[in-house]
Structure 1
């Protein structure tokens, strides 16, 4: 056998081994790919908006909705507001709470409006007291609206309300509205005032 033939045969053997080796590598790669397993986890949720509804009471016991100025609750003051004297003060409770269907917290902002010839001679303030019976002209507690002329507002602090547990309404905030006549109250002058308590959540 010539050296050339031996060299050619050796070269072919190396190529065959290389191809076989390549085939083995490819075969293992294919087997590895086919042997891969997979598994999945899924997660989902359903979303719904909460709700809140404010209601009020002039006695701290019977609560109703008063959603518009036409439905405003008639306050019950400690003195006859149709017969005020100079320097006289009078107070009325107005309690607010979130009803039993409410599912979220709320903050309540206070605004006021007034008309009439006596507005400049009457001032008011709103104090949050611990219990309905604490609403007097000398009430102390958290100032919700600082003293100002009737229809105007001094410093205002929002009232925080929380929903009740289960199907119960939330705890009430007892607001004491105190109106004071100035010493220069004019005879036969009149005024009409409206307080609005607006709940919001965010």
Structure 2
């Protein structure tokens, strides 16, 4: 058996293709782009850390953030150099093994969730996202999908809104009236 083989084509044999170090002699699809993203992100964070206080003093408020982001940037450059030396792995593709369509759809769903959260509120937006995500991933009946998604949403809402009193964006749902009605119900209407 090939020492670089990490399981069956679908990676469903119980092993992980995320073994530390990945392929020891090969570069997986997308590694170079990901590492370039790390470099850009580290450079932006270093620039932001420099903006805190510049190079005023070693004990200045920006010295630790600058040191940490400088180490991040240097590490990312070293990782890029190591990655570029490796030959590409030919048994994997970006769209099948690294970033399949389901992942892209869920990321787009999370972006839509963030955009719709303020105008529509937490409850309707979360209901829409959870229902779509569960239906897409579980591929069960609509009854099961709606039961799980809406049941989960009710529990999440009760815990965060009523137990922890976290203010969630209300949007189109009259949440204040609903919370007051629940309080009245449990306090005996007093």
Question: TM-score w.r.t. structure 2 length?
Answer: 0.20
- Greater strand proportion: 1
Higher relative contact order (CA 8 A, sep 6+): 1
Rg comparison, structure with higher value: 1
Question: TM-score w.r.t. structure 1 length?
Answer: 0.19
